[in-house]
Amino acid sequence: MSSQIDHLLDETRKFPPSEDFVAQSISSPELYERAAADREAFWGEQSRELLHWHKPFTRVLDWSAPPFAKWFDDGELNVAYNCLDRHVEAGNGDRVALHWEGEPGDSRTITYAELTDEVKRVANVLTDLGIGHGDRVAIYLPMIPEAIASMLAVARLGAIHSVVFGGFSADSLRARIDDAGAKVVITADGGYRKGRVSALKPAVDQALGDRGDGEQQTVEHVLVVRRGGNEVDWVEGRDVWWHDAVPAASAEHVAEAFPSENPLYILYTSGTTGKPKGILHTSGGYLTQAAYSHKYVFDLHPETDVFWCTADIGWVTGHSYVAYGPLANGATQVLYEGTPDAPHPGRWWEIIEKYKVSIFYTAPTAIRSFMKIGRAVPQKFDLSSLRLLGSVGEPINPEAWMWYREVIGGNKAPIVDTWWQTETGAIMVSALPGVTSTKPGSAQVPLPGISIDVVDEQGAEVGNGNGGLLVITEPWPSMLRGIWGDPERYKETYWEKFEDQGYYFAGDGARLDDDGDLWLLGRVDDVMNVSGHRLSTAEIESSLVAHEATAEAAVVGAADETTGQAVVAFVIIKESYLAAHDPAGLAQLLRLWVGEQIGAIARPRDVYIVGELPKTRSGKIMRRLLRDVAEGREVGDTTTLADTAVMSIISAQVK
């Protein structure tokens, strides 16, 4: 790791924005000045400018009971109205909201007027299914227009959605449905992935099936979109076809105003313990910063730009930069159902050419896998429409950054590397194109209105040229309002570490270079980042030990050329299991087991069956040493181990 950091800090290339870009850019240095002069007034101004408030707010921030913030809290708005109706009322109903592209090549173009109509119908259907203000709705859908319509319909009713990534297993879905107490699940029969229909409804059926623990489950209805055309089981009275209910519903629906702090959604993310955290976001502040960041970071010209964020709606990036930010700003965007390489490795570039995408936002892991295939593939397509590129999810190494700039951006499109988290709700750190000279590998500077610092373990500023922990020093509009049902965990996880200073602890290591630009150095806790997705070591360990063969397990994130980090597991097998079973194929069995338990993204790259795990005298597993083994390095300092011989035994077993 440290050699990698040194290498990063040797990076001195800088790319100032071109004159042409500056001339048309909506940002200017004045934005920073206004925010610095009066932060709260700045956010108040932004919110009034970007959103329609049914009842205007008179207070910007109430921080009288930290860490529980209230933004714009005496104002009232409707999130869906802001994303839909007001654009139609302003005469932009014919503007394309979604250019949707199915994986097999089918496509649909949906205008703002059409999407508004659809959302009103879905809102009426959900009302009929018993959903009202404050109820929870789980959404387990592929990347189809109905996914966006579902989120907005839930928001329109003042209800709360919990989108669960379609790649998650029935068990993961069940845990999220239970934790939120969802009343309705919206799903599909299946969706297209890698050239085949991948079924979704069976996982919902399984999640809602008898759990054998006598617990009442909360779901009353399942609304099912037909997409894959695959056969599905049907529960009469519980299941409703979308294509029966939605077209038959009325397209009249008046958006009611809700208080600014009305909960909007829960999104589960991995923490340092096994149980995922239900991150809670509310309405007015969240939508303000989603719209603001989308507008300025992406230099959005809604009349002419075509925006494409490749994230799935199951992740926060899909919430803020597929659903809420772009729609609040009246943008035209691309929504793609499938994988980047189906049916051919140039699929993404073909889509950019087809829709003349001008702003493209994706993750470093995708860029690295395209680099591996080679530039000949993208070079077959006309990518000249691209004028701005974005990156999110993990640090982007300078090599990948340069490749992205040259091969995809034609050496002209600025790249914005955006740092943020599920918890922050929206982008916090990024260059402003048209203002900032960009630097390969650095996420650079906090957005106007955002206060970030790098501090040491005691909370003291480290200053330029030094590394430490990234903190957010002032509340921000789209900050999480808590962890669903667990206020204590919220305080402990994010606020306890720097309680005296009142800083939010992000869990990331960072460094400030001599210019004061930020370099993100990865998580400092037991959270891994695999292809830009957060996974917790504890969650995968508990899944491994849930298998009858496993006595003990330790999981580490090991550096991986394509995925950033990869899951590597070290497992001790029970004597009793070995006595009765053939150990051949056991590693593969456990890999698949984790995939079934959590989802394919959590499946370990390697499972090593070992006899012992390295532990300190107090019994803590020393993952640092296992990481050395997993990354094929000389094993580090073992002096604090209870048994110092253990590492040589493990190294031998792994070879």
- In the complex, the residues that contact ligand 6R9 under the rule CB under 6 A are 269, 315-317, 392-395, 417-422, 443, 506-508, 520, 523, 529, 532, 534
Query: How many other β-carbons are positioned within 10 Å of the β-carbon of residue 390?
Result: 26
From the annotation, which residues make up the binding site? 193-196, 317, 393-395, 417-422, 508, 523, 531, 534, 545, 547
Q: Name which of 392 and 607 has its Cβ closer to ligand 6R9.
A: 392
Burial class (CB in 10 A: 0-12, 13-18, 19+), 304: exposed
Q: Name which of 239 and 394 has its Cβ closer to ligand 6R9.
A: 394
Instruction: Show the tokens assigned to 227.
Output: 């997409």
- Which residues make Cβ contacts (< 8 Å) with residue 191, sequence separation at least 6? 103, 141, 142, 143, 144, 166, 197, 198, 200, 227, 228, 337
Are 278 and 330 in contact, with CB atoms under 8 Å apart? no
Amino acid at 294: H
Q: How far apart are CA 8 and CA 519, in angstroms?
A: 9
Are 560 and 566 in contact, with CB atoms under 8 Å apart? yes
Q: How far apart are the first and last CA of the chain?
A: 22
Q: Name which of 453 and 508 has its Cβ closer to ligand 6R9.
A: 508
From the annotation, which residues make up the binding site for CoA? 193-196, 317, 531
Instruction: Show the tokens assigned to 574.
Output: 């029970």
Q: Phi/psi of residue 390, each to 5°? A: -130, 155
Smallest gap from Cβ 82 to ligand 6R9, in A, equals 22
Q: Name which of 227 and 523 has its Cβ closer to ligand 6R9.
A: 523
Query: How many other β-carbons are positioned within 10 Å of the β-carbon of residue 196?
Result: 12
Smallest gap from Cβ 15 to ligand 6R9, in A, equals 17
Smallest gap from Cβ 315 to ligand 6R9, in A, equals 6
Smallest gap from Cβ 559 to ligand 6R9, in A, equals 14
Smallest gap from Cβ 330 to ligand 6R9, in A, equals 23
Do you find a cis peptide bond into 604, omega within 30 degrees of 0?
no
Q: Name which of 122 and 279 has its Cβ closer to ligand 6R9.
A: 279
From the annotation, which residues make up the binding site for Mg(2+)? 545, 547
- DSSP string computed for 470-494: EEE-S--TT---EETT-HHHHHHHH
Smallest gap from Cβ 399 to ligand 6R9, in A, equals 15
Per-residue HEC secondary structure of 214-251 comes to CCCCCCCEEEEECCCCCCCCCCCCCEEEHHHHHHHCCC
Q: Name which of 145 and 395 has its Cβ closer to ligand 6R9.
A: 395
Q: Name which of 111 and 563 has its Cβ closer to ligand 6R9.
A: 563
Smallest gap from Cβ 639 to ligand 6R9, in A, equals 30
Are 85 and 321 in contact, with CB atoms under 8 Å apart? no
Query: How many other β-carbons are positioned within 10 Å of the β-carbon of residue 237?
Result: 8
From the annotation, which residues make up the binding site for ATP? 393-395, 417-422, 508, 523, 534
Smallest gap from Cβ 325 to ligand 6R9, in A, equals 12
Smallest gap from Cβ 368 to ligand 6R9, in A, equals 14
Q: Name which of 22 and 524 has its Cβ closer to ligand 6R9.
A: 524
HSE, side-chain direction, 13 A CA sphere, residue 360: 28
Q: Name which of 148 and 518 has its Cβ closer to ligand 6R9.
A: 518
Specify the DSSP element, H or E, that contains 279: strand 277-282
